[in-house]
Amino acid sequence: MILAFLLTASLLAQASNATDSAIRQAVKDQVAAIKTAVAKRAYVGPISAKSEASITITNLGNQTRTAVVAGDATIKLMGGKEGTFADLKVGDFVIAMGYVDSQNSLATSRLLVIAKPTPDKRLVLSGRVTDTTAASFTLETAAKETWTVKSKTKDLKVGNRVTIVGTSSTALNLTAKLVVPLTTP
């Protein structure tokens, strides 16, 4: 009888642990879902479409995002002037700030119309050094392009693998701002 009692107690404890674990996991999933559901977000990009109370923004990753703009949203036009939803036009570059719902739709509370940003002029290249001179070196990329890179070459040797950040004014020529040596396979 004692043995049966002990066995029963042990099994009951195991069953209880299994249930607790499942409940804990469910609560954890719910909390994660709620956190995601109320996340603060900012959608950045040009307005690609406009409807009665919402706009579609094509973000910098070329994905479309929906921003609902309620009547109480703060809208700032270029130059800091207060605006209304009616002032927004397709093509305007905007930052829409607010909270997203589970469908990724933004409840916009603040929207700024800003000047279209200029593209980043920095170029990133990586490849292998194929030649060096006092003030430049040549780099062969994985795409088999050969670039001439203006840079100090003191520590560079033919065969080194590097990545470079720089600016390019003419085709296949780059002025390096940063040269980072990479591990050679």
Partner 1 sequence: MKKEVILAISIGFALGLIITFGIWTANQSLKNLPQPSPKAAVAPSPSPVSPTTSLVISSPDDESLVATDSITLSGTTTPKATLLILSENGEQTATADASGNFSLDIDLITGFNTITVYSYAADGQETSRALTITYSTAKI
Contacting positions for partner 1 (CB under 8 A): 1, 4-5, 7-8, 11-12, 14-15, 18-19, 22, 25, 29, 39-44, 59-63, 65, 74, 95, 97-99, 109-110, 114, 120, 122, 124, 126, 161, 163, 165, 177-178, 180, 182-183, 185
Tell the smallest beta-carbon distance from residue 49 to partner 1 (Å).
19
C-beta closer to partner 1: residue 60 or 172:
60
Tell the smallest beta-carbon distance from residue 29 to partner 1 (Å).
7
C-beta closer to partner 1: residue 25 or 133:
25
Q: State the Cα–Cα distance between residues 94 and 106, nearest whole angstrom.
A: 13
Tell the smallest beta-carbon distance from residue 137 to partner 1 (Å).
18
* CA 35 vs CA 88, 108, 109, 144: distances in Å: 31, 18, 19, 46
C-beta closer to partner 1: residue 86 or 115:
115
C-beta closer to partner 1: residue 103 or 133:
103
Q: Which helix (H) or strand (E) holds 167?
A: strand 161-167
Backbone angles phi, psi at 114, to 5 degrees: -125, 170
User: 3-class secondary structure for 99-135?
Assistant: EECCCCCEEEEEEEEECCCCCCCEEEEEEEEEEECCC
Tell the smallest beta-carbon distance from residue 32 to partner 1 (Å).
9
Q: State the Cα–Cα distance between residues 8 and 13, nearest whole angstrom.
A: 9
Exposed/middle/buried for 67, CB within 10 Å: 0-12, 13-18, 19+? Answer: buried
Tell the smallest beta-carbon distance from residue 148 to partner 1 (Å).
21
Backbone angles phi, psi at 33, to 5 degrees: -65, -40
C-beta closer to partner 1: residue 31 or 39:
39
Count of residues making up the chain = 185
